[in-house]
Structure 1
Amino acid sequence: LIELATTDENGQEIVWQLEGAALSNQRRRGVMAGMLQEGDQVRVAGYASTRRPAHMTAEHILLPSGTELLVGFAREPHFSEDQVGGNAPPVTAAAEAEPADSGIFRVWTRAGGYWPWYFAEPHEYELTASAAAHVAEYDTFADNPLLDCTQPGMPSVMGNPYPMEFIDHGDTIELRFEEFDVVRTIHMNDARDPADVPLSPLGHSVGEWDGDTLVVTTNRINWPYYGRMGLPQSESVHVTERFTLVADENRIDYEITNRDPEVFAGTQTWEAPYVWRPGEEVGVYDCTVE
């Protein structure tokens, strides 16, 4: 998020809130912290919000040096051929590649071209009457907990474009996310009755190996939203995930299936590949409200 101070035709200062693509995506394309400094006089092109005044999705930022930063989804420059973040080769941190036998236990990032399932609009689903009534009363800005930097629960945390890392702890697998600094725990040897496990936003996840596929079932979730567009979620929701390591071990095929009969007429499934990029790391999100 960037704040940009401008002056309108009456000489009054207006402070715009600019948002771009995920920071990890920008880093991967060479747009690094420090390229834009506080106090820089810049030009910006993007898409102004039709719902919030002085908010914009930024695509192009022209620096005082004449270099253009492509900070959104555009890949062609708007202001200058001297650009960073467009069609230039990706820049990755210098790091020793993980050993070939690390399997799933490394850092993965969702491949490009796959729109997150959690941004699907409510009208795209067949909802129960109670769920439809909830959607009708939802206020995007007043009711969205993510705007207050509250960590998303399951399954909303899955599918984001930021890096995630699997860490093997034997009886558990830790799944760390850059987005909102979320950490999930997957229990590999848990014989407890799920009914005895307390409800929580991330729920209770139990995993097992099916060949090269990690199968994870999650229930006991009390996160109130399915996705990030105001769809409700009941405590009856049941989530099944499959993380399949492909033969060359450079990609995971991911599948998530959600069942919540109090909200949907049927099951909801989304699939996307995750790729391994040597040097990719899980950074610190550090969401704060000012």
Structure 2
Amino acid sequence: MRGMRTRPGIVVVGCAAVAWLGLASTPDAQWLTLRTPGIPRLSDGTPDLKAPAPKTSDGTPDFSGIWKTPTGRYLANLAADGVEVSMQPWAGKVYRERQENFGRDRPSAACLPHSVTDFDAHITPRKIVQTKDLLVMLFEGYHTFRQIPTDGRAFPRELEPAWFGYSVGKWERDTLVVETVGVNEKTWLDDAGHPHSDALRIHERFRRTDFGHMTVQITIDDPKAYLKPWTVSFGWELMPDTELLDWVCENNRYFDIIPK
């Protein structure tokens, strides 16, 4: 259970430092005593997060639930684990400029949407709602959502660039494989300022390893911005017995605290 929850604040990304500010502590006034049905429990009633991963009635892995990224490490820098990221000259220049000005122009500082990778790594919870042909992620942060069709459709012939692009998914045994294209160039891959071009293709692999844990693997394939694809991996944790809270980006204080 959440108990007392701190709303995520602001990430300040410098050349060598990352600072998190909690803007407010919010008690769980919304569904405080909620007990999520269908969750395996230990003898004391606590959720058994190491129980086997569930499946739907047709045998497909069931990703339903509320999930969190337990650390802001990969939101601050998607390549935080030291993966080699070889940039094209223009991309390297943009990245250095964003580092030097502490990410003043990052879209989320103006309450604009995060990118696909940003939201994968974001510490605010996301609820997965899964049907036979569609998986939807409802993000608590910024009150937004992402749709991933799993009905076998192809990408549209003409892509109008969008904040989350266009995603299609398919199941490979117990792993959901997602490809995304058509992401507009206003988005950043992370708060560190890794850029991308209109050629970006994001490959994601989601696997629920047990009831309470999900592995997330992201491959960035963008030959206009990077000399070769690069891959990162991290985990999500299930948040049982709770619900999403009301989280609206309004009058973001980011510009009040970063260096001028």
Q: TM-score, normalised by structure 1?
A: 0.63
Equivalent runs, 1:149-168 vs 2, <5 Å: 149-168=111-130
Structure 1 counterpart of 2:158: 196
**Structure 1 position 231 matched with structure 2 position 194:** yes
Rg comparison, structure with higher value: 1
Deviation per CA, 1:177-214: give whole Å up to 9, x if none.
Answer: 11222200101125334432322110111011112211
Q: Does the 8 A contact of 1:203 with 1:219 survive in 2?
A: yes
**Structure 1 position 244 matched with structure 2 position 207:** yes
**Structure 1 position 108 matched with structure 2 position 67:** yes
Residue type of the alignment partner of 1:232? P
**Structure 1 position 125 matched with structure 2 position 64:** no
Structure 1 counterpart of 2:248: 286
What SS does the aligned partner of 1:174 have?
Answer: strand
Distance 1:270 1:282, change over 3 A: farther
Equivalent runs, 1:28-43 vs 2, <5 Å: 28=2, 30-31=4-5
Structure 1 counterpart of 2:134: 172
**Aligned counterpart in structure 2 of residue 98 of structure 1, from 11, 34, 37:** 37
What SS does the aligned partner of 1:278 have?
Answer: coil
Aligned length: 215
CA shift for structure 1 position 155: 2.3
Distance 1:132 1:216, change over 3 A: same
Question: Could you say what the CA RMSD is over the residues aligned between the two structures, in angstroms?
Answer: 3.4
**Structure 1 position 144 matched with structure 2 position 106:** yes
In 1, the alpha carbon distance for the partners of 2:190 and 2:20 equals 21
Q: Does the 8 A contact of 1:242 with 1:256 survive in 2?
A: yes
In 2, the alpha carbon distance for the partners of 1:58 and 1:175 equals 25
Equivalent runs, 1:53-92 vs 2, <5 Å: none
In 2, the alpha carbon distance for the partners of 1:237 and 1:201 equals 12
CA shift for structure 1 position 156: 2.1
Distance 1:256 1:183, change over 3 A: same
Q: Does the 8 A contact of 2:13 with 2:103 survive in 1?
A: no
Q: Does the 8 A contact of 1:98 with 1:106 survive in 2?
A: no
What SS does the aligned partner of 1:98 have?
Answer: coil
Distance 1:253 1:135, change over 3 A: closer
Structure 1 counterpart of 2:59: none
What SS does the aligned partner of 2:147 have?
Answer: strand
Structure 1 counterpart of 2:238: 276
Distance 1:287 1:210, change over 3 A: same
Structure 1 counterpart of 2:94: 134
In 1, the alpha carbon distance for the partners of 2:90 and 2:138 equals 34
What SS does the aligned partner of 1:133 have?
Answer: helix
In 2, the alpha carbon distance for the partners of 1:241 and 1:281 equals 25
Q: TM-score, normalised by structure 2?
A: 0.70
In 2, the alpha carbon distance for the partners of 1:137 and 1:50 equals 12
Residue type of the alignment partner of 1:93? L
CA shift for structure 1 position 105: 1.0
In 2, the alpha carbon distance for the partners of 1:195 and 1:147 equals 33
In 1, the alpha carbon distance for the partners of 2:219 and 2:251 equals 33
In 1, the alpha carbon distance for the partners of 2:220 and 2:91 equals 15
Q: Does the 8 A contact of 2:75 with 2:191 survive in 1?
A: no
Deviation per CA, 1:126-164: give whole Å up to 9, x if none.
Answer: 211111222344443542221111111222221111111
Q: Does the 8 A contact of 2:13 with 2:191 survive in 1?
A: no
Distance 1:132 1:171, change over 3 A: same
Structure 1 counterpart of 2:51: none
Residue type of the alignment partner of 1:131? A
Higher relative contact order (CA 8 A, sep 6+): 2
What SS does the aligned partner of 1:157 have?
Answer: helix
Distance 1:186 1:142, change over 3 A: same
Distance 1:173 1:229, change over 3 A: same
What SS does the aligned partner of 1:226 have?
Answer: coil
Q: Does the 8 A contact of 1:131 with 1:232 survive in 2?
A: yes
